[in-house]
Amino acid sequence: MRPTATLQDGRQRILDAATAALRRDGVDGFRVEQVLLEAGASSSSLYHHFGSRNGLIRAATTSIHRDLVLTEDRALLDQGMAAATHEEFCTYVEEQLRRAATCTVNRARRIQRVALAAASLEANDHQPAVAEFQILMTSIIADIFEFAKTKGIINPDLDSFAYCAWFQGMLLGQLLIEATLDDTTRWLSVAVPSALAPLRLP
């Protein structure tokens, strides 16, 4: 086996163990010693590949975000692209909002995103990885809205990226209000009209 392959294998083992630890324990509970034990690696390997504890956490955060992007259901995105009328597109947006607010799998993903974003607020060196992921996710969704604009089925003046950033923020924020507003239908009764209003054709 080539030395380069061995080095890459070692790096991947550390990254896999760090990603599992970050998912399981969060940033506050993240212990480098435990990661190295699980990866069967030395501290010199950690510093060689990642530079520091924070470098490892940044890489693990990026890995988690990449996994979240890859597990996004492509069929759901394709449904938005396939909408042919204003009504179909608005129905699609409403369905995605309702799915996001009620689906347990989707909720688990949003909890991960909120936890990582919250941790990055206290650690400036983690913020670039979180921001990069948020921009990527927002851009992917904004492409659907840009395509709808080219078909003339939603407001042509809509700032798609700003709208999708707001939409993502609204969904992530919904997690924070669940403790005080446990009836999702009440939240949706406000969220759906708010989400559809900017899409209206002039």
pTM for the model: 0.65
> Would residue 52 be called left, alpha or beta, if left means φ above 0 and alpha means ψ between -120 and 50 degrees?
beta
pLDDT exceeds cutoff 60 at 70: no
Amino acid at 121: L
Q: How far apart are the C-alpha atoms of 200 and 163, rounded to whole Å?
A: 13
The two three-digit tokens of residue 91, written as one number: 């129905």
50 close to 14: Cβ distance less than 8 angstroms: yes
Please tell me what DSSP assigns to residue 202.
-
Over residues 12-66, the pLDDT tens digits come to 899 899 888 888 887 778 889 999 999 998 888 888 888 888 888 877 877 776 6
From the list 178, 169, 108, the residue with the least C-alpha distance to 141 is 169
Question: Residues with Cβ < 8 Å from 95, sequence gap 6 or more?
Answer: none
pLDDT at 153 over 90: yes
Does position 68 have pLDDT exceeding 60, yes or no? yes
**pLDDT band at 74; cut points 50, 70, 90:** low
Structure tokens at 83: 């909408």
**Residue 49 contacts by C-beta under 8 Å, 6 or more apart in sequence?**
7, 10, 11, 14
Q: Are residues 120 and 126 in contact, defined by beta-carbon separation less than 8 angstroms?
A: yes
- Residue 7 predicted with pLDDT over 60: no
Q: Which amino acid is at 55?
A: G
Question: If one looks up domain 3-64 in CATH, what number appears?
Answer: 1.10.10
* Residue count of the chain: 202
Cα three-residue angle 51-135-154, rounded to 5 degrees: 170
Query: Is residue 37 within 8 Å of 13, Cβ to Cβ?
Result: no
Model confidence over 104-123: pLDDT tens digits? 777 777 777 777 777 777 76
